[in-house]
Each structure stands twice: as C-alpha cells, then as structure tokens.
C-alpha cells in the first residue's frame, strides 16, 4: 500500500505539501532529479495538493529570471493553472507565528515559509534547504527533502 493509500485509509482525504523555492528552481531547471520528479508526481498521486505562500512565488520568479524567462513562464503556468496548487498571500500567516519560527532560528524568509506551512496545516514542508532539514524542529508538520518525500509517497 502506498503512502497516499494509507493516508486515505486513515480517513485523511488528502496530503498537503508546502514546497520551498529550491524545489521549483531545481525541478524546473533539471539540476536535481528528485525535485523534478516530485513536481511531475503532483496530479499523479491521488489527493496530493500543494499550497504556497507568496514569498515562494516571489523568490522563485526572481531566481528563475536570472536563468531564463521561459522558466518563469513554466513556473507560473504550473502554479497558477494547475488545480492542485493554491497560492496565498503572506499576509494570511499570523505575524506571531512567523515570529515563533524566527525564534526557532530561521531567517525571516524561511520563517515565513515555515510559519505558513504551520498555519496552512501542511502535512509536509519539502525543501533542500539545510536550515529546514537539519535545524527546524516542529511537531506541526514533517520536513523532508524531495527524495525523502518521493520515497514516502511511493512506498
């Protein structure tokens, strides 16, 4: 039974991911195969949804623009036309929750993403960022790399 099947059997109808900026950059440029595969699995794994704070949109667009404008088009097409993606303004995330994540040692931009995942009740925050993977300790959600997330989804 796959992870998605076991989640459904436990009464949970979906799996909510928050993806960090680097998953889009690595996935769309093809520089990290697990990130690219994770993006490909969205829409294939039943019940898998993605929610993003506007910070991720801004950071990703900025960084992809340094590489090639076609990547910005691919990114915006993915997140704004795919029905399983939701983009929400950073302002929706409570400031006191952001401050809690700053107090956990995250930089402001990372704290916004971490707090957003908490506020959105995400099941997983997926990132290659070592500040998230090694340093963030929270019970609100699990922090996984793309490779670990794929392993969980497919096993």
- State mean pLDDT over 110-119: 95
Question: 35: which 2 tokens?
Answer: 């990130």
The pLDDT value given to residue 12: 60
119-155 pLDDT, tens digit per residue, is 999 999 999 987 776 778 888 999 999 999 999 999 8
Question: 27: which 2 tokens?
Answer: 């996935």
51-97 pLDDT, tens digit per residue, is 999 999 999 999 999 999 999 999 999 999 999 999 999 999 999 99
Cβ(17)–Cβ(122) below 8 Å = yes
Please tell me the pTM assigned to this model.
Answer: 0.89
Q: Kindly report which listed range (7-21, 54-68, 106-120) carries the lowest average pLDDT score.
A: 7-21
The pLDDT value given to residue 130: 77
Domains identified in the chain and CATH numbers: 13-154 (3.40.50.1010)
Whether 18 has a pLDDT exceeding 90, the answer reads yes
CA angle 135, 23, 40 (to 5 degrees): 135
């Amino acid at each position: 039974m796959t992870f998605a099947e076991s989640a459904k059997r436990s009464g949970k109808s979906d799996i909510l991911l928050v993806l960090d900026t680097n998953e889009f950059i690595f996935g769309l440029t093809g520089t990290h195969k697990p990130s690219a595969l994770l993006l490909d699995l969205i829409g294939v794994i039943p019940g898998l949804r993605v929610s993003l704070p506007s910070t991720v949109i801004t950071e990703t667009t900025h960084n992809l623009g340094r590489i090639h404008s076609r990547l910005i088009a691919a990114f915006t097409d993915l997140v704004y036309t795919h029905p399983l993606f939701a983009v929400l303004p950073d302002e929706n995330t409570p400031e006191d929750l952001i401050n809690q994540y700053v107090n956990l040692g995250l930089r402001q931009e990372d704290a916004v993403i971490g707090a957003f995942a908490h506020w959105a009740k995400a099941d997983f925050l997926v990132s290659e960022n070592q500040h998230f993977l090694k340093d963030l300790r929270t019970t609100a959600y699990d922090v996984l790399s793309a490779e670990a997330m794929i392993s969980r989804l497919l096993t």
